[in-house]
Amino acid sequence: MFSERSRFHFSHSGFTLVEMIIVIVILGIIAAVAGIFISGRVQQYQDLGLRAELSDTADTAARRLSRELHLAIPNTVRSANASCVEFIPAYEGGRYRNAADGAGAGNVFTTTQAITSFDVIGPLSTAPSNGDFLVIYNLGIPGADAYAPSDNRATLNGSSTTSLMSFASKQFPFESPGKKFQIVSGTERAVSYVCAGVGVDAKGNGTGKLYRVSGYGFVYPEPNTCASVTSAPILAQNISACSFTYDPGVRERTGLVALRLSLSKNVLQTSETVNLYYDVNVNNVP
């Protein structure tokens, strides 16, 4: 009698060493071909991400500068050299009373004598703080220069309100044709945008930084060096090239500030440089 096991025939199948080598070679070829396409897509993604990062940084810094320049007191923009631009921003402004009302009442602005206050026509949105500065009809010339300590700038005191400007006794040199005045923060005062340390390192990274400097006061006469960036906040870094130019144009009209900014960065052997040119029109009508 045959055993149960003897009724079945078992066969063993497999592959030879040659077949295994052929499969490995084919898979290697497929992987190499696929890698060419995949690596290209990955590289493009890295390039796009880095380019977007640099573009966003440059654009944000330029828009910040533009927004503040539009608030600058007329004829206060100046540039000591191509590495910086300086101006005096106003956070508030209005019109002053230049004549008494029908009943002969009213706190009137005049240039014929020293005054300590005047009425505001139409209340301000917020009352000035003690130590803020009042500027009237700035022309940026001797006698009407907001940077100068005794020209057309007065220090406001705690008695100022949204409808009354109160300050130490001051005789202003000129009256504004538009009866306008501007208010400057006593803590910020003049503001400078400064590029420092600009260049490129061995890896292709920009070494410079763009700073916003404030609170250093009013420098007069105009210096030939930029404000110190010590402890100043950084607006952008990886800067490989930077320059500011200011064309005042015709006095009492529109000036032009031009910013040229290049940012360079190298990440995982991916090197990108973004170049930005930005123009800002500056209102010089005091």
Residue 285 pLDDT grade (very low, low, confident, very high; cuts 50, 70, 90): confident
Residue 2's pLDDT is what? 46
Cis status, amide bond into 286, omega within 30 of 0: no
Nearest to 258 by CA among 243, 271, 273: 243
Q: Is the pLDDT of residue 15 over 50?
A: yes
Q: Is the pLDDT of residue 78 over 50?
A: yes
Q: Is the pLDDT of residue 195 over 80?
A: yes
158-176 pLDDT tens trace: 999 999 999 999 999 999 9
Query: What's the length of the chain?
Result: 286
Which of 49-58, 86-95, 97-106 is the least confident region?
A: 97-106
- Which DSSP category does 75 fall into? T
Residue 94's pLDDT is what? 97
Residue 110's pLDDT is what? 97
Q: What angle do CA 44, 47, 49 make, to 5 degrees?
A: 110
Cα torsion angle, 59, 263, 213, 81, sign: negative
Q: What proportion of the chain, given as a percentage, has pLDDT over 90?
A: 73
218-254 pLDDT tens trace: 999 999 999 999 999 999 999 999 999 999 876 656 8
Beta-ladder partners of 239: 208, 263
Cβ pair 171, 113 in contact under 8 A: yes
Nearest to 236 by CA among 211, 201, 203: 211
Residue 156's pLDDT is what? 98
Nearest to 180 by CA among 145, 138, 150: 138
Q: Is the pLDDT of residue 13 over 70?
A: no
- Pairwise CA distance, residues 257 & 249, whole Å: 10
Residue 81's pLDDT is what? 96
pTM of the model: 0.83
Q: Is the pLDDT of residue 3 over 60?
A: no
Residue 207's pLDDT is what? 98
Q: What proportion of the chain, given as a percentage, has pLDDT over 70?
A: 88
2-6 mean pLDDT: 50
Rg (CA), the chain: 34
Q: What is the DSSP string of 109-154?
A: --SSS-EEEEEEES--SSPPPTT-EEE-S--SBTTB-TTSTTSSEE
125-162 pLDDT tens trace: 999 999 999 999 999 999 999 999 999 999 999 999 99
Residue 4's pLDDT is what? 52
Cis status, amide bond into 221, omega within 30 of 0: yes
